Amino acid sequence: MNSGSVSTFSSLAPLLIALVPLVAFGLVWWRTGSLYLPLNRLWQLIYGGQDVQDSEIKALIAQQNDRMRFRLAFRIPVASMAQLRKLQAWAGAHRLEMHEIGECGPFFLVGDLKVKLPSAWRVVPQVALVLVLFLPLPILPWLLVQDQVLVNLRESGRSFLLDESTARPVFPLGPQLSKAACAARNGLQDDRGFSPVERDILCKVFIGDGTDDGRTKAATELTNFIQDALTSQRWSLAALGAILAMSVTAIWLWLRAFSAAKDLQRRLRAFSNERAEAGCR
């Protein structure tokens, strides 16, 4: 790793550390649908663990804490302790565990105590989307370790891959132009994937004005440019990978909740049929 990369990563360390509490807050909100628990901890941190004197308020806060801990543990958005007790009784009567209900996510209606599945037109696009978003993920690690940067010529808008010794056009892909060919000045009249104007520009990038001092200066500038561009490109790819991974994870969790809800609905129907048969005997 070059010194420029080390400096860049080190400068971002405080930012990454600062993001840790935000990630924790986001996780709690995702599990409970509320920021009550972290805000309660923040209150205790600022004002200490002084006990509430009023018995009714103390009981109310205790119930709120218990309810939020329940939501954090099982990700079931109960709105009150009464609703929680009702859910417990219903789950016991149907021989269900709380984690089985929580796995259904948004497809279990706590207020109605029933499963509500989405229509097929909502499920099929989700499956297709997770496949499309997943496809680039295995390629990103390979792109992260490449030493070529994707750049374009301002004059022509031509995109190409560049390293310290070669340039290869893309969109469409063509033969590469090398630094050695520019230095030897042979074969530049042939088609190497670039127009004559583009070849002249790139040769100036590789060897400058052709003198020894010009070549040294051009090589130094090109090395610095590629190092900076690689750092920027890799961070962009890493950010893209993180976004794709989070998107795939979110859709996968949605599909997993759908599968769990479908299984729970089947079990509830079997339980109802079992009770109906027992009542007819």
Please name which of 199, 90, 218, 108 lies closest in space to residue 155, comparing C-alpha atoms.
199
Whether residue 240 contacts residue 185, with contact meaning beta carbons closer than 8 Å, is answered with no
Please name which of 26, 18, 93, 70 lies closest in space to residue 249, comparing C-alpha atoms.
26
Whether residue 203 contacts residue 209, with contact meaning beta carbons closer than 8 Å, is answered with no
Per-domain boundaries in the chain? 1-12+118-280
Question: What is the chain's pLDDT, residue by residue, as a tens digit (281 residues)?
Answer: 344 333 334 344 565 566 666 666 666 666 656 666 666 666 666 555 566 667 788 788 788 888 888 888 888 989 899 999 999 999 999 999 999 999 998 899 999 999 999 887 888 888 888 888 888 888 888 888 888 888 888 877 888 888 888 888 887 677 788 888 888 765 455 555 788 888 888 888 888 887 888 888 988 998 998 888 888 888 888 888 888 888 888 888 888 999 999 999 999 999 888 887 776 66
Cα–Cα dist 27/49, whole Å = 24
pLDDT of residue 3: 40
State the DSSP code for 58: H
Structure tokens belonging to residue 280 = 């007819």
Omega cis (within 30) before 169: no
pLDDT of residue 8: 37
Structure tokens belonging to residue 188 = 């530049």
Cα–Cα dist 136/51, whole Å = 54
Please name which of 218, 198, 217 lies closest in space to residue 206, comparing C-alpha atoms.
218
Q: Indicate the pairing of strand 177-178 with strand 166-169.
A: antiparallel
pLDDT of residue 137: 84
Cα–Cα dist 54/148, whole Å = 68
Structure tokens belonging to residue 263 = 């299984």
